[in-house]
Amino acid sequence: MQILVTGTTGNLGRSVIETLLKNIPAQNISAFVREEEKILELKAKGINVFRGDYDNVSTLETAMANVDTVLLISAGDQGNRLQQHRNIIDTAKKSGVKNIAYTSRAMKNRSTLAHQLMEEHFLTEDYIKASGLNYTIFRNTLYMDVLPLFVGKKVFETGIYQPAGDGKVAFALRKEMGEAMANVLSNEACENKTYKFTNNESYSFYDIAKALTTLSGKEVNYQPVDISAFQERMRPTGIPATMLQKVIEFNTDIKNGQEDETTNDLENKLGRKPTTLKEGLKTLFGL
């Protein structure tokens, strides 16, 4: 079995590679990377490394020669993400790859999404299913790792202000989702399954504020605000308008319950319970 992991130099890809190396021989792992400086680091681990990008089909063809399974780690939203995903899926089919896995998102209802870029994940899923390849879909919850960005560097002085209402998210650590994906890829056949990798419990920003208060000894409060008040508060920070809109859309989906779903899939594939909110925040904030 030869597994190719795309997007290997990102945090999720690194976690997948780290666990694959524990599960299968290094020579059975291939990595597809963009950055030249990462190649030697990965080759030193004994894995096969190919440089290229999702827009360059010829580099994808080279990387997929003699590959059985491709893990498509979703592209960033800076380019034409959907076309980039199609390039990988089409090349996999053309190259004789048997199986494809994809890192999607755990959202409840694609028809009512506020964050329309999330729809590209579902369109990619549709394209994979129509390709005829054996597939595994990993629908990942929102990373707990993004919470320091959401609540800001001055959270212990200012508290939390988000337009998320009482909405909850089954936050889980990115590293643990990468570990679980690697366990599935190295131990299971690709049988057209969809996994939802979430924590065992979902958390509101009230829960986050309470956990940060307990961990730091400083009173942290969460104040849900409407979108216009949030925009006014954020403008002086200099955040680009496009980024601010993404944050608002994320929060709107949270408020509408899109992220409030829990399963045992992550626990089952980790072989242990996922890190709780409190323990995760302790690490993420260095408390």
At 35 the pLDDT is 84
Q: To the nearest whole percent, how much of the chain has pLDDT over 90?
A: 87
pLDDT digits (tens, 9 = 90+) for 29-64: 999 998 888 888 899 999 999 999 999 999 999 999
Partner residues linked to 197 by β-bridges: 140
At 153 the pLDDT is 85
Identify the burial level of 172 via C-beta atoms within 10 angstroms of its C-beta, where 0-12 means exposed, 13-18 middle and 19 or more buried: buried
pLDDT digits (tens, 9 = 90+) for 200-248: 999 999 999 999 999 999 999 999 999 999 999 888 888 888 889 989 9
pLDDT digits (tens, 9 = 90+) for 247-271: 999 999 999 999 999 999 999 999 9
Residue 17 near residue 38, CB atoms below 8 Å: no
pLDDT above 90 (res 103): yes
Q: Between the CA of residue 48 and those of 8, 43, 180, what are the distances in Å?
A: 12, 6, 22
pLDDT above 80 (res 192): yes
Summary mean pLDDT of the chain: 95
Residue 260 near residue 108, CB atoms below 8 Å: yes
